[in-house]
A and B are shown apart, each in its own frame.
Chain A
Amino acid sequence: MVCLFWLATGVAARAMELPSVAEVWEVVTLENYNTRLVVLSTALLGVASGLVGSFLLLRKRSLMGDALSHATLPGIGIAFAVGVSLGGSGKSLPLLLAGATVSGVIGVLVMLAIRNTTRLRDDVAMGLVLSVFFGIGVAILGMVQAMPQASAAGLESFIYGKTASMVKSDFFFIAGVAAASALIAVLLFKEFTLLCFDDDYAASQGWPSFGLDLLLLGLVTAVTVIGLQAVGLILVIAFLITPPTAARFWTERLPRMMGLSAVIGGLSGWLGASLSALLPRLPAGAVIVLVAASLFVFSMFFAPARGVLGRWLRHRRLRKKVHRQHLLRAAYELLEAHARGSGNGGRGTSIINEPFDRADLQAKRTWRPRELARIIRSEIAMGHIEEAGEGRLRLSEEGFGEAARITRNHRLWEVYLVKHADIAPSHVDRDADMVEHILEADLVRRLEDELRDRDAWIPSPHSIQ
């Protein structure tokens, strides 16, 4: 996706003239007055939607923003018609956005009504409101665009978005709404968290669940509506969804996630609007979405907390460890069997660290030869195993201690799981290797007695050394 992004911008850049260094500098430093307004307001919008979108994501209603933004179209059309018939140009931004808000809110209410009074699920309610309202909007636009008094051509930008030139009052309006939404989201952090985590509990505690829900959707509406012009109604939900989803990969703490989401949203808005100002005819909405998407892809792969790469590495490390333990345990059990078979046998036989055959090791478990060879190589590198000539292997002194420890812990764990199956499940996610650290000393002693009875006891490695 990232490459696609560069491909696309590359293509777009070639199609237009590349901006000169001076132009780039002008945009980056926000020297141009109009650019400054546009870039600042879009960045602020990104911050606000990053915050509000976090709650929307956790409420599992991300796509509701999509339905909502589509539902604003009839309002835009009607507001335009009203504006024109009142004698204006019909393109007053506050009027259009007021219309968008009204029909967006109606859309949300219809959605909630469908969900609460029919068997239909959320997804159906959303798709229904989205398509029907958008259809009505298209029909209304079809009518008003034919109005002789004014040209409605600019209305299309509400669908695809463009970094329009912006007058100061528009800027203050958009910046004001964005700042207010962000502020409310932060002030009501505790309440929204509770609502998103456990709405029934919130209601049982006397919080107005439904009211908070409406307020959250109100904030979503506000952010969506002020984002319509810059990003367009199809893509504006990316502003609400992508930053918080990307931020979620980095942390398990909500305040941090929200902060990061605000940063990612702000960055996407700022970069997207700047790029779009630099390269004429580049739709701002698309660029913003692609910047956010690139950040998302990066987070999804490389975020250490929940990213794909981090999880894969952890999984690999675990597998390696399991293999190593299997190998050392198999080696130890070979020696154990040998000691019992050769000598006096029975209790208290001391186990001698002597060379053993590779083939015996192979027969011990169902591992593929190549796999076994790899594990042995890595253990030799770690100094646990040494070559003893003639295809034989030997445990090093350190490896012998380690093998004894692993085997002992494993046996303790086995007994524990069998004997104390009732309390064990709360510990099963733990590592058998950690048995001494999880269980109380008293319990470990009792488990050891159990092993002694079964003639499978191994002295604690601390006493070996």
Chain B
Amino acid sequence: MNWTSFDTWIVITAALCAVACALPGCFLVLRKMSMMGDAISHAVLPGLAVAFLITGTRASSAMFIGAAIVGILTAVFTQWISKVGNVDRGAAMGIVFTTLFAIGLLLIVRAADHVDLDPGCVLYGAIELVPLDTVRLGEFEVPRAAAVLGVVLIANFGIVVALFKELRLSAFDPALADTLGFSSRFFHYLLMTMVAVTTVASFEAVGSIIVIAMLIVPAATALLLTRRLIPMIAIACGVAFLAAALGHVSALTVPRWFGFDTTTSSGMMAAMTGLLFGLAWLFSPSEGLVIRWLHQRRGSDGLRGGSPAQG
């Protein structure tokens, strides 16, 4: 393995993205809306396409705004269809995001006549090219994606810190939040906005597949290790960071074991979140499979005088 400053920048960028996702991800998971991350990250496609068709460039704030708007629209439409149409939430979400994604695909087909906008790069990005596109920050030459994601991370962190009490309450008991005067709908859409903006910031650099993984999996992993919110957020951020670093390293090394060259880092990072989750699933000290199996064996030994455990 030949580690260069390129690789360092790739890991830094991915880690910024991962932690930026893990923060709102914790609340998504607690609010039982994990699939909303998936839906929004697919559905921003038409927003990107429209903004792109209008401005004609890829690196524009118009694209940012367009995608964020469509992301929020996804949440609005889902809510609206499931309420007004009396449709199961999951189904409503599925209909909305497939429709938006389909519109986006068609628009891109149109756009592809003029410029290069590949739906593939929305899904799994081009993280390997991140260090090539830099901006100057004071004395440092920083990849543009890292700068953008850094800003998003700071914003997400700021929102979570500033509105921690309200976010926790509205995730735990929306009705109570409403009666106390914190509109749970406002926090719902705030969360959706955070997810949409983070998705858009990440899409070009790292691809939306990482976003979906980093939104859900670190938070789920943390939930297996603790039952308290602040440690949960901390663990989720740690897992996200670790997965990003491990993902890039294994993208460089693992394929060689099978006689291939390197592979896409973003895919590997998503896979690594899965690996870390698997470890927590098995070995969580409080509710891992192993500890539960041990408990059950001991428990039924005591109860039944040595007969084998059942169920």
Contacts and interface: CB of A to CB of B under 8 A. Distances in A.
Please tell me whether chains A and B touch each other in their complex, using a CB distance cut-off of 8 A: yes
Contact of A120 (B102, B123, B220, B271): B220
A66 B37 CA distance: 13
B267 A137 contact: yes
Interface string A8-19: 110110010000
B287 interface: yes
Interface in B91-112: 91-95, 98-99, 101-103, 105-107, 109-110
Interface of A: 1, 4-5, 8-9, 11-12, 15, 57, 60-63, 65-66, 114, 117-121, 123-124, 126-128, 130-144, 146-147, 156, 159-160, 234-235, 237-238, 241-242, 245, 248-249, 281-283, 285-287, 289-290, 293, 296, 300, 306, 308
B190 interface: no
A139 B216 contact: no
Contacts of A281: 109
A11 B263 CA distance: 36
A179 B68 CA distance: 42
Interface stretch (B28-36, B149-157, B163-171): B28-36
Nearest to A236: B98
Nearest to A53: B91
Given A143-B255, A242-B95, A118 B224 contact: yes
A1 B43 CA distance: 14
Q: Pick from A5, A9, A61, A130 the residue with the most CB of B within 10 Å.
A: A130
B184 interface: no
B37 to A, nearest CB: 7
Given A60-B88, A237-B98, A285-B105, A131 B260 contact: no
A63 B93 contact: yes
A406 B179 CA distance: 39
A117 B106 contact: no
Given A117-B289, A238-B102, A286-B105, A124 B216 contact: yes
Nearest to B211: A131
B124 interface: yes
A164 B34 CA distance: 34
B99 A139 contact: no
A119 B98 CA distance: 29
B81 A300 contact: yes
Interface residues on B, range: 35 or more
A241 B277 contact: no
B173 interface: no
A415 B276 CA distance: 67
Contact of B109 (A12, A114, A130): A12
B299 interface: no
Nearest to B114: A15
Nearest to A113: B281
Given A63-B93, A135-B271, A238-B98, A4 B109 contact: no
B75 to A, nearest CB: 15
B103 to A, nearest CB: 5
Given A60-B88, A156-B120, A293 B99 contact: yes
Q: Pick from B98, B212, B287 the residue with the most CB of A within 10 Å.
A: B98
A135 B266 contact: yes
B277 A132 contact: yes
B269 interface: yes
Contact of B209 (A57, A134, A308): A134
B158 interface: no
Interface string B179-215: 0000000000000000000000000000001101101
Given A132-B217, A281-B109, A120 B223 contact: yes
A135 B270 contact: yes
A359 B269 CA distance: 75
A287 B102 CA distance: 7
Contact of A135 (B102, B213, B287): B213
Given A156-B120, A283-B105, A131 B281 contact: no
B94 A4 contact: no
